[in-house]
């Protein structure tokens, strides 16, 4: 087969990508603290995901940033600013 006739396979989303995408069905990025309904740490988000596979916080952080979520330091912890859909 030549390169022009080969069908390129689409990259399948990873488990963490699917979980973060599902998370975004319930939340959208808040503009700032006053706009947020909730603030959750990455640890809180990981606990909600209850995955059967190990998920690393840096993977979730990267995807949350890619979806436009903002991180905020609340004096004790870094949290994501969330707005319920």
**Helix 42-49 to helix 57-66 angle, to the nearest 10 degrees?**
100
In the structure, what pLDDT confidence band is assigned to residue 67 with cuts at 50, 70 and 90?
A: very high
pLDDT at position 4 over 70: no
Mean pLDDT score, 46-60: 84
Show me where the domains of the chain are located: 15-84
Q: What is the DSSP string of the chain?
A: --TTTPPPPPPPPPHHHHHHHHHTTTEEE-SSGGG-SEEE-HHHHHHHH--SS---HHHHHHHHHHTT--EEE-SSSEEEEEEE-
- Amino acid 5: pLDDT: 47
Q: What does the mean pLDDT of the chain come to?
A: 88
């Amino acid at each position: 087969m030549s390169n022009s006739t080969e069908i390129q396979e689409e990259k399948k989303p990873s488990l963490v990508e699917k979980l973060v995408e599902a998370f975004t069905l319930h939340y959208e990025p808040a503009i700032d603290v006053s706009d947020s309904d909730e603030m959750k740490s990455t640890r809180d988000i990981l606990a909600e995901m209850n995955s059967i596979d190990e998920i690393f916080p840096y993977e979730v952080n990267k995807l949350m940033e890619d979806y436009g979520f903002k991180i905020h330091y609340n004096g004790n912890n870094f949290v994501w600013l969330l707005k319920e859909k």
